[in-house]
Amino acid sequence: MKRLVWATWLAAALLLAGAAGAAEPAYEEAMAREHAGDAPVPGAAAGPAIEGIQGKMVDYGAGRGFLARPAGEPRGGLIVIHEWWGLNDNVREMSRRFAAEGYLALAVDLYEGQAADEPSEARALMSRLMEDPERAERHLRAAFGWLRGEGGVDGVGSIGWCLGGALSLRTALLLPEELDAAVIYYGRLVTDPAELAPLMMPILGIFGGQDRGIPLESVREFEAALRTLGKTVEIVVYEDADHAFANPSGNRYQPEAAADAWRRTLEFLGQHL
């Protein structure tokens, strides 16, 4: 049943704009519009060296990802899910920052060795991922299993931005009783109460009020559905922020909103992991 729901969600994303092949998928079009003229700037996300933090590539079963390990005993594990650009410098740096806060952070590589430097490449990579629903599912399940097994952590959460935000929610829907927390940064949402009903973990959603790709109406529908179901949910909307406002390597970065979102994220994870 979970696999059917997952496949249905991705198929809907491909068909929203019309019959397959007749028009561009609506979600891809929205993301292309939001990232028009954007490009990841190598090194822009890098901060000062974090003492004691180890980072390396590891095999988590479905692929190889970037693992950032804290200096001491991990307080929990995080599945870190990249934007539509892929597993790049920004995502590796975010993983290190989570490790500095005590989390064993495993950044999955859904594009399996590829990453984009400009929007057309990112769109093509995202399109290929969406055409193979089971591919992302394999990565997300495998990352969860690796953190619980090889990583040796009890509590595991998910976090992602943009495409990764949508897939952070998808991880929760794949593992509705196993996942301990989910953080969604401006990711596409599911608003059907029947699909959201199995979720057992607390959810933090962070969005920009000026984001045309993730309409505020859908954010409010998502929040209302979860609250009606009695779920634990916190939704934060930065009214003046746009899509990808938390990415320091992009051209829509808003430092103040990003800093506040980071604070809220750490508070949420600290409470639930």
Beta strand segments in the chain, E = 54-59, 64-69, 76-81, 103-107, 156-161, 181-185, 203-208, 233-238
Q: Dihedral through CA 136, CA 110, CA 142, CA 148, nearest 10?
A: -120
Question: Do residues 246 and 80 make contact, with C-beta atoms less than 8 angstroms apart?
Answer: no
Which residues are identified as catalytic? Answer: 162, 211, 243
Average pLDDT over residues 34-47: 78
pLDDT mean across residues, the chain: 90
State residue 53's pLDDT score: 87
pLDDT band at 36 (very low <50, low <70, confident <90, very high): confident
- Lowest mean pLDDT across 1-5, 103-107, 187-191, 233-237: 1-5
Q: Please tell me the distance from the alpha carbon of residue 94 to that of residue 112, in angstroms, as a whole number.
A: 19
Average pLDDT over residues 203-215: 97
**pLDDT tens for each residue of 70-91:** 999 999 999 999 999 999 999 9
Give the chain's domains with CATH numbers.
2-7+54-272 (3.40.50.1820)
Task: Tell me the pTM.
Answer: 0.91
Instruction: Tell me the CA distances in angstroms from 110 to 12, 141, 230, one per residue in order.
Output: 20, 12, 32
